[in-house]
Amino acid sequence: MTASFPRAEVVIDLSAIRHNVALLASRAPGAQTMAVVKADGYGHGALEVGRAAVEGGATWLGTCSLGEALALRRAGIGVRLFSWLDTPEADFAPAVAEDIDVAVSSLAELARVADGVRRARDFSGLNAIGRVHLKIDTGLSRNGCPPAEWPALVEAAAAAKPFIEVVAIWSHLACADDLGHPSIDAQAKRFDEAYDIARAAGLDPMRHIANSAAVLTRPELHFDLVRPGIAIYGLNPVPTDDDLRPAMTFKSSVVLTKRIPVGESVSYGHTWTAERDTTLALVPVGYADGVPRTLSGRMDVWLDGKRRPVVGRVCMDQLIVDCGDDEPAVGSEVTLFGQGDSGEPTAREWADKLGTIDYEIVTSMYRPRIHRTYLEAGS
Ligand SMILES: Cc1ncc(COP(=O)(O)O)c(C=O)c1O
């Protein structure tokens, strides 16, 4: 409890990130670990999470865009960085110059990376080289090279030496969190075929395909490098009993309490009416801070050691908690979701109520009004 508590705050426990990365790395002992920190570290802060992940044993960090990777490099991250999806006008020259590995799914993309290498050599020296990971589409049908075009892509990449070094071939799984789904084996088979073709073209690439679910459940798919994302944040996409610790807690505080008589209604639309005299606590977070309005009347918060219901509609900037005959002090801490150890709601609970996944809940906590703080920031 504190009077200076920010109105909307996410607290990121970096010791949980270190713990989770170490646990995941221990599940894949023959592989290196790439911690996926795209989308600002799934809403947790890419740089802080990236540093903690490296302390936990990650030797690579993965991002979606070149901008995300360059920001990490320029902030002093020294481990290998891999970036996998940009728009066609992306300039690969800075990525090459700053030692960022990039994904290639097509001949056109390969040509753009080679062009980036030529320009990078003008300003960073003749040794600049484009380190590429060729992506085979094994069945997700998102990005990645279709199998029919794969032989031409590997031949072209092999011939592009010394501008291009093929570091790896890689792919992404569609249903790894659906244990035993037949697509997993089908994708693995296509991945093997793609590898054989790459070898026949004279390449000797690493292989990587495993996301969090596959790290935890499919050891035969770990290959040389694993790419866990959600599990490093402590959210387990599969029903295993691994000791992952959620890293994010979403908090606010009580700014006002008031007693209302039976029959009084609460918030816009008067969707809730007190059935007895009760005390309400006002909490200054709302849908502008990432509390979905569709959780109105369907969510609890943790306040003074108890779960208590949010009553009436969640507004843009505030919500109201029914405290019965309890009188929380102004300034009392309110947990909207957290690790769940004490009984407080979790991001998974929100996701289940909303019909979505906890990935979306934590990622949407990256908002200008939400203050982010870090616990145990390390040395
Ligand atoms: C290419 C790629 N690899 C790895 C991951 C990590 O997946 P997860 O968060 O399910 O572990 C993602 C996330 O979507 C991804 O896009």
pLDDT tens across 166-175, in order? 999 999 999 9
What pLDDT shows up at residue 320?
98
Question: What does the alpha-carbon distance between residue 230 and residue 358 come to, in Å, rounded to a whole number?
Answer: 9
DSSP 25-40: HHHSTTSEEEEE-HHH
Q: Whose CA is nearest to atom 13 of ligand 1?
A: 229
Cβ count within 10 A of residue 214: 25
pLDDT score of 123 more than 90: no
Atom of ligand 1 nearest to the CA of 64: 16
pLDDT score of 129 more than 80: yes
Atom of ligand 1 nearest to the CA of 212: 11
Active site residues: 38, 268
- List pocket residues of ligand 1, CB cut-off 6 Å: 36, 84, 172, 211-212, 227-231, 237
Q: State how far the alpha carbon of 287 is from the alpha carbons of 41, 44, 252, 272, 367, in Å.
A: 22, 19, 13, 18, 11
Across 10-45, b (16+ Cβ under 10 Å) vs e yields bbbbbbbbbbbbbbbbebbeebbbbbbbbbbbbbbb
pLDDT tens across 308-340, in order? 999 999 999 999 999 999 999 999 999 999 999
pLDDT tens across 270-286, in order? 999 999 999 999 999 99
- Determine the average pLDDT of the residues in 233-246: 97
pLDDT tens across 46-75, in order? 999 999 999 999 999 999 999 999 999 999
- Determine the average pLDDT of the residues in 112-139: 93
Domain spanning 31-233 has what CATH number?
Answer: 3.20.20.10
In 3D space, the residue among 248, 299, 298, 259 whose CA is nearest the CA of residue 282 turns out to be 259
Q: What percent of the chain has pLDDT over 90?
A: 94
> For all residues of the chain together, what is the average pLDDT?
96
What pLDDT shows up at residue 306?
97
Sign of the C-alpha dihedral, residues 13, 15, 19, 25?
positive
What pLDDT shows up at residue 168?
98
pLDDT score of 29 more than 80: yes
More confident residue, 196 or 88: 196
Q: Length of the chain, please?
A: 379
- Determine the average pLDDT of the residues in 360-366: 96
What pLDDT shows up at residue 238?
98
CATH 3.40.190.10, domain 248-375, yes or no: no
From ligand 1's centre to the CA of 262, what distance in Å?
Answer: 50
Q: Out of 49, 64, 85, 211, give the residue to mutate to test ligand 1, the one with the largest number of ligand atoms within 8 Å of its CB.
A: 211
Q: Note whether 31-233 and 248-375 share their fold.
A: no
Q: Out of 20, 32, 36, 223, give the residue to mutate to test ligand 1, the one with the largest number of ligand atoms within 8 Å of its CB.
A: 36
Across 227-236, b (16+ Cβ under 10 Å) vs e yields bbbbbbbbbb
What pLDDT shows up at residue 377?
56
From ligand 1's centre to the CA of 105, what distance in Å?
Answer: 17
Per-residue pLDDT band for 124 (boundaries 50, 70, 90) equals: confident
Q: Whose CA is nearest to atom 14 of ligand 1?
A: 229
What pLDDT shows up at residue 3?
45
Atom of ligand 1 nearest to the CA of 84: 1
From ligand 1's centre to the CA of 29, what distance in Å?
Answer: 19
Q: Out of 169, 172, 225, give the residue to mutate to test ligand 1, the one with the largest number of ligand atoms within 8 Å of its CB.
A: 172
From ligand 1's centre to the CA of 38, what distance in Å?
Answer: 9
Q: Where do the domains of the chain lie? A: 31-233, 248-375
pLDDT score of 379 more than 70: no
Atom of ligand 1 nearest to the CA of 237: 10
What pLDDT shows up at residue 5?
67
From ligand 1's centre to the CA of 229, what distance in Å?
Answer: 5
Beta strands in the chain (DSSP E): 9-13, 32-36, 60-63, 80-83, 100-104, 130-135, 164-170, 206-208, 225-226, 248-253, 256-260, 265-266, 272-273, 278-283, 300-303, 306-311, 319-322, 333-337, 371-375
Q: Which long-range contacts (CB under 8 A, 24 or more apart) does 70-77 make?
A: 70/94, 70/95, 70/98, 70/100, 71/46, 71/47, 72/37, 72/46, 72/47, 73/98, 73/99, 73/100, 74/98, 75/47, 77/47, 77/50, 77/51
List CB contacts of 113: < 8 A, sequence separation 6 or more.
92, 96, 102, 104, 130, 132, 164
pTM: 0.96
pLDDT score of 1 more than 50: no
**Paired tokens of 8:** 């909307």
> Strand pairing partners for 48?
none
